[in-house]
């Protein structure tokens, strides 16, 4: 349980270390955020979608550690914001209709 708090604190600290123009919990670049999650937590993108604001939402996860992170990116500025982190990631098979 302590590791999830360390993960959340580190990720939040990283995202808040951006320029003054960035919102709290955000980084000016999706690439920077994905590199941090890969380097520090072995998390790689496992899903992505466009939300109701038109922003890109990316879920990263580590099968080895079981951690996961949800981030969203503004398509106009590249500003990437942390939405949530957690543990216990389980990939599920999608059995819905094909589109």
Question: Which pLDDT band holds residue 18 (cuts at 50, 70, 90)?
Answer: very low
Percent of the chain with pLDDT over 70: 75
Q: Alpha-carbon Rg of the chain, whole angstroms?
A: 14
pLDDT digits (tens, 9 = 90+) for 89-98: 988 888 878 7
DSSP 62: -
| Alpha carbon distance 4, 58 (integer Å) | 19
What number of other Cβ atoms are within 10 A of residue 11's Cβ? Answer: 23
Q: 15 exposed, middle or buried (CB, 10 Å; 0-12, 13-18, 19+)?
A: buried
The answer to whether the CB of 56 falls within 8 A of the CB of 29 is no
pLDDT digits (tens, 9 = 90+) for 21-52: 345 788 899 999 999 999 999 999 999 999 99
85 or 10: whose pLDDT is higher?
85
């Amino acid at each position: 349980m302590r590791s999830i708090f360390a993960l959340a604190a580190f990720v939040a600290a990283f995202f808040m270390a951006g320029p003054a123009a960035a919102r709290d919990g955000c980084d000016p670049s999706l690439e920077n955020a994905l590199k941090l999650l890969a380097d520090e937590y072995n998390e790689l993108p496992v899903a992505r979608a466009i939300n109701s604001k038109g922003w890109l939402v990316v879920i990263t996860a580590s099968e080895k550690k079981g951690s996961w992170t949800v981030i969203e990116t503004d398509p106009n500025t590249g500003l990437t914001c942390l939405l949530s982190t957690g543990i216990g990631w389980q990939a599920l098979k999608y059995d819905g209709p094909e589109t």
